[in-house]
Structure 1
Amino acid sequence: MSLNEKPFADLLAATRHSAVHLEMRDLYAVGDEAEDYAAFLRTGTANTDPTKSFWPEWLPLVTDAVARGVVMRRVRIVSEPVTDYIRYEHAITVLNLQAGEDVRWLSRRQAADLALPGADFWLLDGKVVQFNHFTGDGDWAAKERTDNPDTAALCAAAFEAVWQRAVPHEKYTV
């Protein structure tokens, strides 16, 4: 099975040291969270029940990885003032943290002088990159994976530069 054909869960299960995720959009409109996001817009309250929505699929992947010693870090570059979607994402991040992810936030203005890849990505063990491509309105378009060392090094450097400037979730207010 080629790198692009493997389920992400299998790639994460094979990860031994680190999994980092850089997110750079102000709006995601992916189907698995559409209902929860719509409810948030109506009520102002986020669904943080770990047994609902997409969480039962994601949280065990994170807790298993962290239990194996994998350090999972996620950083989000956001425009300020933030969008409604980012307020929603900030509200549900408590579940990422409870599962063992370390999450930080960075104002887009503070990232303006950083060289960044053109798409969100995951970098696993500093070797495998998964770029996540989205449509203009935020829905999934495609994923693209590579184990090219130059691409992995570019993503690692970009992530670390953003991480150093970013604010821990607990200190970032929306």
Structure 2
Amino acid sequence: MTSISDDEFDRLLSDFDRESLHLETRDAYGTAVELPHMAKWAEGEHDDLEWLQGWCSTLRNHVAAGRSVRRARIVSEPLSDYQRWSYGIAQPMVDAGEDIRWVPRRRVSSLAIPGNDFYLFDDRLVVFLHYAGNGLGSDKVTSTDPHDIRLCRTAFEAVWQLAIPHREYKPV
């Protein structure tokens, strides 16, 4: 496995041929981009979500080109503050074409899931996302190992079958 830079990762998010799958398994994250916006939300301040527009534009470009972007979020219920905030900002991404689905953690007890969140691009490249205990990203590592690709595809599809589309999910 090879570590990649944030710039390389950003390129992968924009430069795939058919499909991007993203499995999230944590109840809290601490990305540098998100933390100030979540803090505003926690204080009850309005967020115009302008900071999401670049990603939404990328999503619209993927949809226009016939590419699929799917994200499954495994969440504990009741939702953590992070996940309540994340639910609250998801609609613009859904409107732009990302299929985001929510899976209560209790539904996935019998599924084999990789130990880390991941992106799977075109069934050819996995990017495993490593996090510190405080939710901050610590590394992104790639794999083209067929076993890793199969594991991630199988896990994602198993979770997806149990997932609730964003528009139908009612946060607890």
Tell me the secondary structure at the aligned position of residue 167 of structure 2. Answer: helix
- Pick aligned residue for 1:83 from 80, 83, 89: 80
| Ranges in structure 2 where 5+ consecutive residues have no aligned partner | none
- Pick aligned residue for 1:127 from 100, 124, 128: 124
| Ranges in structure 1 where 5+ consecutive residues have no aligned partner | none
Tell me the distance in 2 between the aligned counterparts of 1:11 and 1:126: 13
Per the alignment, do residues 149 and 48 of structure 1 end up closer, same or farther by CA in structure 2, a change over 3 Å counting? farther
Does residue 160 in structure 1 map to residue 157 in structure 2? Answer: yes
TM-score normalised according to structure 1 size:
0.90
How many Å apart are 1:70 and its aligned residue? 0.8
Aligned to 1:33: 34
Tell me the secondary structure at the aligned position of residue 32 of structure 1. Answer: coil
- Pick aligned residue for 1:103 from 76, 79, 100: 100
Contact 1:9 1:61 in 2 (8 A): no
How many Å apart are 1:3 and its aligned residue? 8.1
CA shift digits 1:89-118 (9 cap, x unpaired): 000001210221001000111011100000
CA shift digits 1:27-61 (9 cap, x unpaired): 01111111110111111x66353x23xx2442232
Aligned to 2:4: 4
Aligned residue pairs, count:
169
Alignment root-mean-square deviation, CA: 1.7
CA shift digits 1:8-29 (9 cap, x unpaired): 2322333111111000000011
Aligned to 1:47: 47
Aligned to 1:151: 148
Does residue 136 in structure 1 map to residue 137 in structure 2? Answer: no
Tell me the distance in 2 between the aligned counterparts of 1:23 and 1:169: 14
